[in-house]
Amino acid sequence: MPLRLFRQLAVAAAGLAMLFTASCSNIDATFAAQPTGDGGSTNIVKVGTLRGQPHLFHPFLYDRFAPAGTSVEVVVFDTSPDIKNALVSGAIDFGVAGVPAFLAGAAAGQDVRLIASAADGGTGIVAAAGIETVEDLRGQKVGFPLGSSQEILLRLTLAQNGLDANRDIQLVNLPFSDMANALSTGQIAAFSSAELGPATAIKAGAHSLISPYETPVGRVNIGLATTQRTIDENPDLVRTLVDVHAETAAFLDAERDVWQQGVVGEFGLDSEVAETAIANIWPRSDLSNDYRSQVAALTRQMVALGQIPVEPDLKVFIDDSFQKADQ
């Protein structure tokens, strides 16, 4: 079956599944005032993020910056699409996840709004010893996660360096968690993947082959999203959460040692691997014109590869109304 047809069928099936899930779920927002015991109340806000990922660590620090009367419950998931589905179903109020997952939801007509960026980077193209240039990949097996932004960055980077991903190399679709082991055991010669895969492989003796960030997509990776339903029902809460998120992103960027200690303590990560991964991540919260252009470039590439059926309306998908003027 041709790859593009396979992708289109997968997208259609996923869309039907997501529609069924949304129609069978409680779509009421989950935030609610809980009594504090002193006559007051606390707004409990549920925020989804991924387990074990430094570039999605923000929610674990939200309570540090949350105002009195607001408390954040962090809900961990295994994949960005899981976070997006939970957001759409109303199981969580906000999600920190991969922008491609949010774009996929918007393209399928789901209620998803990107209200802040969260972290750039977190991607690496690494290779085994003996692979010193992109040209050395010709004829080699290269790992990638199908349907991800890392696939897009790999294809664009190869093309910029004279290689066609479909003709000049052997693409091997692998789960994120299998990349480093596949490289160390010689099953592949290189891979493009999200952290912690690149950092783990580098500790084991691999090396960064080329930057994946020199394409029109730039370093776009992680964002903060909510739903139009939540925006309409509680705009003050959304504004508060975006402010908390912005303070958290600035803190992470300025206090990288604290960030590293936090992810090691929370997830039991290898400290050296965490340090290498964090050096490849740039926390942020703005929705600048440059950022929007990179999201648009990402969207076009997702359509071209059949990862999404159509381009969503980015003027609707991206809501910058909660951004402060200096963000």
Q: What is the DSSP string of 90-133?
A: TS-SEEEEEHHHHHHHHHTT---EEEEEEEEE-EEEEE-TT--S
**How much of the chain exceeds pLDDT 70, in percent?**
87
pLDDT higher than 90, residue 119: yes
Question: What DSSP state is assigned to residue 225?
Answer: E
When pLDDT is averaged across residues 211-234 and rounded to a whole number, the result is 98
Tell me, what's the pLDDT at 228?
98
253 by Cβ neighbours in 10 Å (0-12 / 13-18 / 19+) ranks as: middle
Question: What does pTM read for this prediction?
Answer: 0.88
Cα–Cα distance, 278 to 252 (Å, whole number): 10
Q: Identify how many contiguous H helices and E strands the chain contains and give both numbers.
A: 13, 12
User: How many whole angstroms separate alpha carbon 48 and alpha carbon 72?
Assistant: 10
Mean pLDDT of 306-321: 98
Compute the average pLDDT of residues 153-168.
Answer: 98
Fold of 3-121+219-317: D-Maltodextrin-Binding Protein; domain 2 (3.40.190)
Q: Which residues contact 154 (CB under 8 A, 6 or more apart)?
A: 125, 142, 144, 165, 192, 212
| Six token digits for residue 320 | 């910058």
The candidate with the shortest Cα–Cα distance to 149, out of 170, 184, 124, is 124
123-210 shares the fold of 3-121+219-317: yes
Mean pLDDT, residues 125-151: 97
Question: pLDDT at position 327, please?
Answer: 58
**Per-residue pLDDT at 293 exceeds 90:** yes
The mean pLDDT value of the chain amounts to 90
* pLDDT score for 41: 67
Is residue 318 within 8 Å of 153, Cβ to Cβ?
no
**Average pLDDT for residues 310-322, to the nearest whole number?**
98
Assigned fold of 123-210: D-Maltodextrin-Binding Protein; domain 2 (3.40.190)
- Is residue 30 within 8 Å of residue 73, measured between CB atoms? no
In this prediction, residue 325 carries a pLDDT of 77
Residue 66 is classified by DSSP as P
Q: CB under 8 Å to 291, separation ≥6 — which residues?
A: 117, 220, 284
Choose between 327 and 184: higher pLDDT: 184
Buried b (16+ CB within 10 A) or exposed e, 183-219: beeeebbbbbbbbbbbbbbbeeebeebbebbebebbb
Between 4 and 291, residue with greater pLDDT: 291
pLDDT digit string, tens, across residues 247-266: 999 999 999 999 999 999 99
| Structural domain boundaries in the chain | 3-121+219-317, 123-210
Write down the pLDDT at residue 214: 98
Confidence of residue 92 (pLDDT cuts 50, 70, 90): very high
In tens, the pLDDT along 4-48 reads 443 443 444 344 333 333 332 222 344 444 544 444 568 899 999
Which pLDDT value is given to residue 11? 40
Tens-place pLDDT, residues 181-218: 999 999 999 999 999 999 999 999 999 999 999 999 99
Higher-confidence residue of 14 and 318: namely 318
